[in-house]
């Protein structure tokens, strides 16, 4: 691991394409600006770890396998399965402006659904629904 010291407005280069600049310093925090091409994925480590844990948890004991094991135990099990499969779940993400809510939601969903730009894009209530094609509707 390379350890270097930088002051505000100083930068480091990683290869020829990535620049990391110290934007601001405060007690216990560093604000970084990262300039990189679009093909370079930039995630906070804790967001990536959370996404990996969520993916691993979602692949454990799928409901279909559980239903096969429960066959012959009555229609009640099938009704419970259908309610779980067809249910809509509401998950709320709250946070201050520009703290990574869109990045966290994209990591949670496992793909790039919400834009990660330096603009306010989660200031309004946003509903993400499963569908055949990716689309966005603002109301």
Rounded to whole angstroms, the Cα distance separating 42 from 111 reads: 13
**Biggest CA pair distance of the chain:** 68
Burial grade of 111 (CB within 10 A; 0-12, 13-18, 19 or more) = exposed
Within 10 angstroms of residue 122's Cβ, the number of other Cβ atoms is: 19
Helix, strand or coil, per DSSP, at residue 54: helix
* Ranges of each domain in the chain: 1-39, 43-87, 88-139
Binned average pLDDT, 10 residues per bin, the chain of 139 residues? 91 94 92 92 88 74 66 72 74 77 81 69 70 66
- Let me know: does 121 contact 104? Beta carbons within 8 Å: no
């Amino acid at each position: 691991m390379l350890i270097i010291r930088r002051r505000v407005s100083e930068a480091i280069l990683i290869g020829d394409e990535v620049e990391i600049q110290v934007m601001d310093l405060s007690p216990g925090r560093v604000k970084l600006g990262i300039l990189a091409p679009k093909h370079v994925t930039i995630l906070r480590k804790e967001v990536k770890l959370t996404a990996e844990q969520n993916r691993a948890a979602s692949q454990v004991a799928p409901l279909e396998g559980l239903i096969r094991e429960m066959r012959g135990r009555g229609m009640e099990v099938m009704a419970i399965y259908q309610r779980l499969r067809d249910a809509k779940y509401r998950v709320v993400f709250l946070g201050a402006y520009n703290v990574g809510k869109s990045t966290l939601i994209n990591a949670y969903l496992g793909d790039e659904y919400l834009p990660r730009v330096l603009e306010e894009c989660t200031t309004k209530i946003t509903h993400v629904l499963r569908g055949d094609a990716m689309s966005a509707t603002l109301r």
